[in-house]
Amino acid sequence: MFLSKNNTKGQIGIAFHDGGVTISQCSWNQGRYVHPIAARINQNPRDLTSESWQTCINQAGITGTDCVLSLPPSIAHHQVLRLPNMSEQEVKEAAAWEMVDRLGVERSTLQLDAIPVGAGGDVLAIAIDQQVLSGLLDPLYAAGLRPTAIEPQCISVVRTLSMLHRRQSDLSVVQSVLDFGMHDSAFMVIAGDSLVFYKHLDHNGMQLIEAIASNTDVTFDQAERMITSSQEGEEDADISKAVRDATRSTHESITTDAMKCMRHYGVTNRGPVSTHLIVTGSSGWNAHLANVLETSCSQEVISDRDIQHIQALPSDMLSSSGWHIALGASLSSVNSQRQRRGSDATVKDAA
């Protein structure tokens, strides 16, 4: 009842995230993930060989050769641009020249694309160096894989968090998202299953760990365990207070940026406000950040694990960095704009 094709077989989703790679594959049937698989390679993606890819694919039990790559801003430059009303081809051309000018390189050295964001004329421009891209693709080809698409990380995240919002009427369901990783973060607004606001943020999980280590005089590994116990709700009162005090400044800075993003979205899109704020990402959820966000943004703050279709995923998968990106990439064949149903009344047409 959620897609025009009830049963969607996913490709291999490959997420370059947090300094490593997460590989996943799943199917989607009647609003549920079917046979989800995820494997993690904690190695610099640029150092991976064809043998590394083959070993990981075989050990994970992933089948097929078609794969979709999801790239973070650290690999593919992201830039939100405001452009006049033009045709799709003209928008892509204008965004390409703008990125070339900003990066100060020859256009022939870049692979470029542009994605409309919201209704206010914003465009998310993406640029990646051709040599960097070749360095990522060549080992995949040598391993027998066949990359069919490349997409920015935020698009994969949006797809994962909006799998149950695919009807035309769901465009009125607006969700804010804080994707908070170990090395980077972003704030997004989703209307139905469409990205309507995006901004890369200068915050990351490393900052939280470093703040705990410096303020409590513990090692980096101990600080990491302290923040992890907070995420899992297992910390004692003394550790909880120490973590809250050490991270307060960073959390308040994150909250300030989140409020600015919400305000910007409200001014540029003039659409309905979000009903809640979802926190996702490998370093995202902890009670202290959630409390600060909920108080300052006056919105319910929920963890990605509390979303209906994500609750059923295995706990070991949810603890793997980048799972939310890799799953979204795996289901990239679900083209929301083309497959979204025009009317909620035509339930039988979804079968």
**pLDDT tens-place string over residues 256-272:** 999 999 998 888 877 78
Q: Tell me: the pLDDT tens digits for 139-163?
A: 999 999 999 999 999 999 999 999 9
Q: Each residue of 337-348: pLDDT tens digit?
A: 444 444 443 323
| Nearest alpha-carbon partner for 188 in 155, 165, 164 | 155
Domain with CATH 3.30.420.40 in the chain: 166-306
| Measured distance CA(2)–CA(149) in Å, rounded | 23
Judged by DSSP in three states, 188 sits in strand
Give the model confidence (pLDDT) of 20-63 as tens digits: 999 999 999 988 999 999 999 999 998 999 999 999 999 989 99
**Distance (Å, rounded) from C-alpha 117 to C-alpha 339?**
19
Helix (H) / strand (E) containing 8: strand 7-9
pTM for this model (two decimals)? 0.89
Is CATH 3.30.750.24 the classification given to domain 1-164+314-338?
Answer: no
The yes/no answer on whether domain 166-306 falls in CATH 3.30.420.40 is yes
Among 161, 197, 192, 170, residue whose Cα is nearest residue 307: 161
CATH 3.30.420.380 positions along the chain are: 1-164+314-338
> Residues of the chain with pLDDT > 70: what percent?
91
